[in-house]
């Protein structure tokens, strides 16, 4: 990725029940990233998007590109539900710029708050028979992401003797970071007792191990290093990127017959750079569920296999310590942005824009997305 830089980042209004449509969220985020970079629609000739609104106008990159005045474009790519959250459109954009398919590519991720539990239950009651692979899950009351995260959490606990208190330590640490982030949705410090008192969704997974559903639009602008040098903000360079896919698209029946997807991805990433784990000043590790952050800590080599629990319990992932992790508070606290916040926070840290939560002198950061069947990671430098 020796050609690629991030030149702009931005968010829409973020929160519960914003009343904003997916198209509006996409528009706000795109304009924020353009404003951040100083680039205009005329400067942008590529678009990679991943929207899940159910609305045709915002689900595909063609319609979004037309709506936002980006046409004619050199490159568009639409990423669907079955992909690694924000990582997929981000990597598609970086790869397109690296390959020369386009020079400047907007990346959009819009996600809307999911229906409340009563609505989910009412919808399920009137649903037709379950087709495809899901028919091997639904009759058993399985298939919720919270449940597969719980299955993985239990597996991890059994393998390494990890404790609920250790998972709680990471949740509390991230809340501590959110306290310093005026954009976070949760800014009240959290205690271990409060974590342990939060209800189980699927034991051992607690409510506070889950990211927070909300409406959000996120955007970044990826461009060439030359172009980025002329933009409004200091460029952030893509030092290396990697991805790994290891099996069918399900999270329930991972076989454990080989290395995990984060591990394979991490090994690939470090092979593509002269930098190593000890060079990373702060890490933004996807926390859709706490177990995902724990797996990435080990996969990337920040600690050894099975050591993530003691590592976070000892406070190493807190601001001011050896490896601040999820310095914006993570998706548990800034709301579900499907991984985009980790890229944007890494960028802001390297620009020195993270205010009270700034890691002094941060020069190298990393952001990751997903685990289980697939995983992606990007190493950024200033």
Partner 1 sequence: MNTTTLFGNSSAVIPPRPAEDSLTAFFWQGARDGKLLIHRCRQCQSYIHWPRPVCRFCLATDLSPAEVSGRGRLHTYTSATQAFHPYFLERVPYIIATVELEEQPGLMMVSNLVGVEPMAVQPNMLVEVLYREVAPGLTLPLFEPATTRRGGDR
Tokens of 71: 């046409």
Q: Is 137 in the site for partner 1 (CB under 8 A)?
A: yes
Q: How many residues bind partner 1 (CB under 8 A)?
A: 46
Q: Is 138 in the site for partner 1 (CB under 8 A)?
A: yes
Q: Is 146 in the site for partner 1 (CB under 8 A)?
A: yes
Q: Residue 116 in contact with residue 124, Cβ under 8 Å?
A: no
Minimal distance, residue 149 CB to partner 1, in Å: 9
- If one counts every other C-beta atom within 10 angstroms of the C-beta of residue 343, the result is 27
* Calpha distance 250→273 (Å, rounded): 31
Binder among 88, 152, 177, 338 for partner 1 (CB under 8 A): 152
Instruction: Lay out the site mask for partner 1 across 111-130 (x = CB under 8 A, - = otherwise).
Output: ------x--xxx-xx-xxxx
| CA 317 from centroid of its chain's CA atoms | 17
Tokens of 134: 């899901």
| CA 234 from centroid of its chain's CA atoms | 22
Minimal distance, residue 137 CB to partner 1, in Å: 6
Minimal distance, residue 290 CB to partner 1, in Å: 14
Can you name the residues that pair with 79 across neighbouring β-strands?
none
Which single residue is written with the structure tokens 């609920």?
164
Binder among 136, 176, 273, 279 for partner 1 (CB under 8 A): 136
Instruction: Lay out the site mask for partner 1 across 205-244 (x = CB under 8 A, - = otherwise).
Output: x---------------------------------------
Tokens of 10: 């931005």
* Calpha distance 367→117 (Å, rounded): 31
Minimal distance, residue 157 CB to partner 1, in Å: 9
Q: Is 147 in the site for partner 1 (CB under 8 A)?
A: yes
Nearer to partner 1, 89 or 204 (CB): 204
Minimal distance, residue 142 CB to partner 1, in Å: 5
Minimal distance, residue 210 CB to partner 1, in Å: 11
Nearer to partner 1, 252 or 363 (CB): 252
Q: Is 150 in the site for partner 1 (CB under 8 A)?
A: yes
54 φψ region: left (φ > 0), alpha (ψ -120 to 50), beta (else):
left
Tokens of 29: 């985020």
Q: Residue 33 in contact with residue 220, Cβ under 8 Å?
A: yes
Q: Residue 195 in contact with residue 171, Cβ under 8 Å?
A: yes
Q: Residue 58 in contact with residue 245, Cβ under 8 Å?
A: no
* Calpha distance 43→161 (Å, rounded): 53
| Residues in 257-296 that interact with partner 1 by CB under 8 A | 257
Minimal distance, residue 244 CB to partner 1, in Å: 18
Residues that bind partner 1 (CB under 8 A): 117, 120-122, 124-125, 127-133, 135-144, 146-147, 150-155, 158, 199-205, 248, 252-257
């Amino acid at each position: 990725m020796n050609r690629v830089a991030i030149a702009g980042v931005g968010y829409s209004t973020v929160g519960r029940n914003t009343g904003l449509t997916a198209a509006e969220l996409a528009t706000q985020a795109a304009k924020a990233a353009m404003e951040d970079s100083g680039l205009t629609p005329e400067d942008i000739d590529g678009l990679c998007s991943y929207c899940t609104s159910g609305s045709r106008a915002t689900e595909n990159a063609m319609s979004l590109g037309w709506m936002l005045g980006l046409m004619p474009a050199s490159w568009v790519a639409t990423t669907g539900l079955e992909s690694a959250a924000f990582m997929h459109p981000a990597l598609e954009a970086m790869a397109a710029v690296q390959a020369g398919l386009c020079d400047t590519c907007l990346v959009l991720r819009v996600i809307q708050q999911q229906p409340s539990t009563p609505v989910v239950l009412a919808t399920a009651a009137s649903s037709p028979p379950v087709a495809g692979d899901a028919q091997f899950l639904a009759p058993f009351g399985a298939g919720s992401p919270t449940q597969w995260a719980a299955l993985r959490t239990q597996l991890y606990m059994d393998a390494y003797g990890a404790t609920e208190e250790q998972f709680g330590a990471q949740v509390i640490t991230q809340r501590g970071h959110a306290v310093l982030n005026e954009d976070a949705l949760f800014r009240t410090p959290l205690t271990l007792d409060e974590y342990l008192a939060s209800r189980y969704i699927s034991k051992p997974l607690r409510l506070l191990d889950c990211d927070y559903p909300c409406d959000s639009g996120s955007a970044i602008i990826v461009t060439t290093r030359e172009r980025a040098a002329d933009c409004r903000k200091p460029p952030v360079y893509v030092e290396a990127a990697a991805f790994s896919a290891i099996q069918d698209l399900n999270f329930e029946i991972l076989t454990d017959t080989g290395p995990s997807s984060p591990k394979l991805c991490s090994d690939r990433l470090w092979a593509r750079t002269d930098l190593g784990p000890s060079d990373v000043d702060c890490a933004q590790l996807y926390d859709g569920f706490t177990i995902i952050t724990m797996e990435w800590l080990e996969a990337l080599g920040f600690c050894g296999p099975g050591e993530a629990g003691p590592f976070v319990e000892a406070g190493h992932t807190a601001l001011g310590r050896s490896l601040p992790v999820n310095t914006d508070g993570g998706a548990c606290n800034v709301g579900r942005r499907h991984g985009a916040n980790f890229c944007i926070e890494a960028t802001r840290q390297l620009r020195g824009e993270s205010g009270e939560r700034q890691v002094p002198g941060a020069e190298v950061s990393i952001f990751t997305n997903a685990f289980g069947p697939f995983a992606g990671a990007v190493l950024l430098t200033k």
